[in-house]
Structure 1
Amino acid sequence: MRPFRYERPATAARAVAAAGGEAHFLAGGTTMVDLMKLDVMRPERLLDITQLEDGRYDFIDWDGKSLRIGALTAMATLADDDEVRRRVPMLSDALWLAASPQIRKAARIGGNVLQRTRCAYFRDTSYAQCNKREPGSGCAALDGGVTRGHAVLGTSSACIATYPGDFAQSLIALDAVVEILGKDGPRAVRFAELHRQPHSRPDIETTLEEGDLIVAFSIPDADFPRSRYLKVRDRESYAYALASTAGALRMDGDVVADIRIALGGVATVPWRAREAEEMLKGSSISEDGLERAAEAAFAGASTTEDNAYKVDLGKRTMVRTFLELARMEG
């Protein structure tokens, strides 16, 4: 790890003013410190934001069916919140399945949605070819690499690295909004607009501007008791998704009144399956109908020999999620 300067701004405004260039925010540090040890990230200054304004950004607030969550809320705090578990279990599921208990206590949800890929060619600097780490250098994964864990949706000729997070799938499914404090003041963007697909510039991963600080997430309609996050992985704990589905369902009798589908482990960014949602709205839930919707969700998949299995696995994960939700009360 290279030398760096540690600072602790007292307010969000001061943190934003100090950020930019080689100065990076630090909260739980579960991704940043990891990548610093690997020499992938080399910040000259770290701005510890965990004590900003005495916990002003650490909260879980319900207002009717809307939910607002401070970005410095610990993963464990949100996962264990009784109201969240009762009213929108998908959020709690995604956090419970995301990491070890120690990491859930340290990591904050603002940093969680910005975690970087687990692609071995990005994280190992002995590989010179990585467009995400060194723009224009090429992609070792595509140039004869092992791609079993890589993405099949949202890929480009420059990068097929998978977005690794779980919580983000629930946020995109719930039409969350990201509240940001930037150098020009506060603003809000749809969570669906936060992450960028790689295209020709995989190194530009989000639409955040220099110095932007995520301060909260708001979900206008978070009351989805019939929801869940299903994650398929190589082992039962502390492993990243090979395929996952964040699913939420509202029924009007036997007919789908509202449905939300987001896919994880298979895409370069948090992935909303809107075509599949449209196919299922207004119909009854059946295995045949879900299989047709899953086909639509993966119609644009681009695979390698190693990761082609993810298409079938992703479809089966999506179908299973909604067959189980259909059997739930709510």
Structure 2
Amino acid sequence: MTADVTLLPDEALALAKTALMRVGMVEAAATALARATMDAEAAGKGAVGFAHLTDYLHALVDGRIDGCAEPLITSPVPAILKCDVMGGVAQYGFDIASEELVTKARALGVSIFTAHNSYTTGELGWYAARLAAEGLVAIAATNGPALLAGAGATQPVYSTNPLAFAAPLADGRFVLMDQSSSATAFVKVREAAARGEPIPGDWALDQDGRPTTDPFAAMQGALLAFGGARGANIALMVEILAAGLTGANWSLDAPDFQAGDASPGAGLFVLALSPQLLADDFTARLEAQVERLSRDYGVHVPGLGRLSRQQAAESAGIVLPRQLFDSISSFRRN
């Protein structure tokens, strides 16, 4: 068996950035996407880390991402930043706008960032975590090509439509929730197919609308929402935030992110709130409450270990399967 590859953070960033630039992405965009990829990987979100980077690389080669796109950011009113990604990647647009977004939230109490005309937005929690690290409460929503059946439907009408939420604690950590509206992420089904393994029977439907444990049939059918109609309702809410309010493609109208030469035209909605303007002692109270929930009631509070995992990766590095490392290293422009 070929040994896995361990990379220190700078080496991992260089791997991602170099591969992206070799297939035509400008340096600033490649830097932003490489950093988001590394952050996801170091946080233990491998499915939306370097494994997902190969989707971006294929999309650049095939024309689904414009590697030279320069995001256009406008501010129709002081609290709102609107970004036309211009067929590029939302990570780059958010990277450009983040400092102003934070400044506006601190001054006004609230600010909103929207993006459209984007490829997939990657790890949604990355956007919320960036703001929580600045002391803000954040909510983020995104959509993409239709993969998920709506309530009562057997065909895909929504993307997995994840929703993320982050809130800062006084000690620098933050609560972070990042979950799809589907019973599982599409990449989990794709990974099961690659391994030749079955999936749980409540994850997806086949093309005929029947529950299936075959990941290949699931990819030709539709994912199911978590919690039935309740999860599907959240998917609709995310669709309205991420596509309706941003002007992005509805999921039904979004081209495939894995094939063709057209961008999915995905949308991203991010709301930032300044908790200090609402409650002076918010972060201290939240930290005490999180500690009480965890210590006295055994509650798992998501996100608390993200910083420690990323710090561990700073010294120990990240481990990539040799096949994935070789695949990323091999990308070249046609």
The TM-score normalised by the length of structure 1 is 0.30
Higher helix residue share = 2
